[in-house]
Structure 1
């Protein structure tokens, strides 16, 4: 019996060290068309050469200003958008160019929780049908089996049984997001990409939804890519954090290192912007000058150098690579050669 328990623990630890998702040099560009013939005259570099990996059972937070490309990265990984270049390896399989029936089979293993719960739910369908629809698409089950499974999912996300027969407009924002989470869980996916899942909710409801996601992660052995702009929310949810700026990853590290020892000047500025709850403590803010450059025509070299207080001549000429400077801590900055 003792040996069996030991084997279970060893297998669990082994699975947590396995990589579920690996993104290699991913690029997603949007064409800019003009003229009578709608010719492509430029490209918006929404996601520009990012690489990272997520272990099984882990939560990777992706943070950055609005427009930095984090949501586009999430949708590209799910193949809701077509990548321009790079590789997406999910559970050991290269899914970058998978299409048709093969892609449909893979989709049950990765799902998405969208930012706006009202816009992502069909207003003409009852909640029970919304949650059961993914199951019906992949499995043959009787109406009684479907109803039983959906009621169990609704219970898991903290909704009453009578929610089954109600429509999305009859719920609050937080309850609608719980419906969206139940729908994402319906196929028992391995990976969930949560795209700003609480940004449209009241502050009083945000913590409830975040705690629910953490509970479900433990219950269903989920892996999360958690996209947000709120640093306190990302800190609560994530094991590791990646910081994006103008389509690229500038830093990636574990949660503790990101908040206590940020290395990239942009990350330092973001951390300094987190409000201090104790009014007696003085906190020095790092105010960045200038505006975020256009992703149509990003600066040469380091994309952050026009706003960086530590910029050197090399920064405007050579684009820094995302390199490991400490154990598990990677940064794209010439200051850490």
Structure 2
């Protein structure tokens, strides 16, 4: 990852306003497992299991963890692309967990998603101009010709030329297609964007360009981000705060500097130890986790990380730790900090 990615810092966004835009309370998303002749539910994959966090207006919360930890499922559940099994999703003070129909449609103008695979998320039979304008046409009675100047302006803001309007997704590179996806997400002027691994499918040479673009657009449009990724260097540059997920649950949440300089949870420490050190003269101790990630169908009792933790005690095997504040703004779910 290029070091020219802009570091997250206070810009013209007013970070002093501590107004919560999104609050997630004890969110659970389970996928039922069917079996037998009658296809009865015999179990569940606990993709997201009792997750709670909040995002302030104008900030970026990074969500990190291994593949399969539930971070993408959490993002899709918040957008109500997936139905939550339990818990609450509070957006701008309103509980949107169970809203349906017209009410959900109205709320959805305010949050959008940038998907991991830009090609799979774009209709290959539609011109880019129609792709970007489609969300606006779905909500407002405007013709394509009326929207053309607005769409061209959006394309220019994401770094695409005017003639991109008349082209199709297959005519662009991966980085350019992701810019189209970003323009489409901006079309309705949302307040929250959930970016699900937005650069993981791109060449390293263009990842920093797309990340810089996201930060510039965040400042210009006063956006709030939930930034989902597995690349810790990307998350460090993009985020104000970071949440670390393991096997469907949050194990640590803190300001990014606090996470990187003084990680508290053993799993977070292991993740950060895996980041390559660019200076070969510096020695870095690598924490090797033993064993495999347990199955979310039958997670371990107590702390789900205890089978792989070097500090595990009998208490860890029996009692599930709660996410609690151990330092100002730094929460961790670990019995080491009782």
| TM superposition score normalised by structure 2 | 0.95
Q: CA deviation at 1:12?
A: 4.5
Give the stretch that moved more between structures: 299-308 or 139-148: 139-148
Q: CA deviation at 1:76?
A: 0.2
Q: CA deviation at 1:141?
A: 2.3
What is the CA–CA distance in structure 2 between the aligned matches of 1:327 and 1:258, rounded to whole Å? 12
Greater relative contact order (Cα 8 A, min sep 6): structure 1 or 2? 2
Q: Which aligned pairs between 1:219-234 and structure 2 lie closer than 5 A?
A: 219-234=220-235
1:256 — aligned with what? 257
1:275 — aligned with what? 276
Q: CA deviation at 1:139?
A: 1.4
Q: Which aligned pairs between 1:65-76 and structure 2 lie closer than 5 A?
A: 65-76=66-77
1:7 — aligned with what? none
What is the aligned-residue RMSD (CA, Å)? Answer: 1.3
2:309 — aligned with what? 308
Structure 2, gaps ≥5 residues long: 1-12
Runs of 4 or more, structure 1, over 6 Å off, are: none
| TM superposition score normalised by structure 1 | 0.96
Q: CA deviation at 1:142?
A: 3.8
Q: 1:36 aligned to 2:70?
A: no
What is the CA–CA distance in structure 2 between the aligned matches of 1:35 and 1:171, rounded to whole Å? 47
What is the CA–CA distance in structure 1 between the aligned matches of 2:180 and 2:37, rounded to whole Å? 45
SS of equivalent to 1:306: helix
2:115 — aligned with what? 114
SS of equivalent to 2:178: helix
| C-alpha contact 2:263 2:269 (8 A) present in aligned 1 | yes
1:149 — aligned with what? 150
1:236 — aligned with what? 237
Per-residue Cα deviation, 1:120-153 (whole angstroms, up to 9, x for no partner): 0000000000000000011122433300000000
2:326 — aligned with what? 325
SS of equivalent to 1:258: helix
SS of equivalent to 1:108: helix
Q: How many residues align?
A: 328
Q: CA deviation at 1:114?
A: 0.2
SS of equivalent to 2:251: strand
What is the CA–CA distance in structure 2 between the aligned matches of 1:129 and 1:143, rounded to whole Å? 7
1:159 — aligned with what? 160
Q: Which aligned pairs between 1:28-177 and structure 2 lie closer than 5 A?
A: 28-177=29-178
2:6 — aligned with what? none
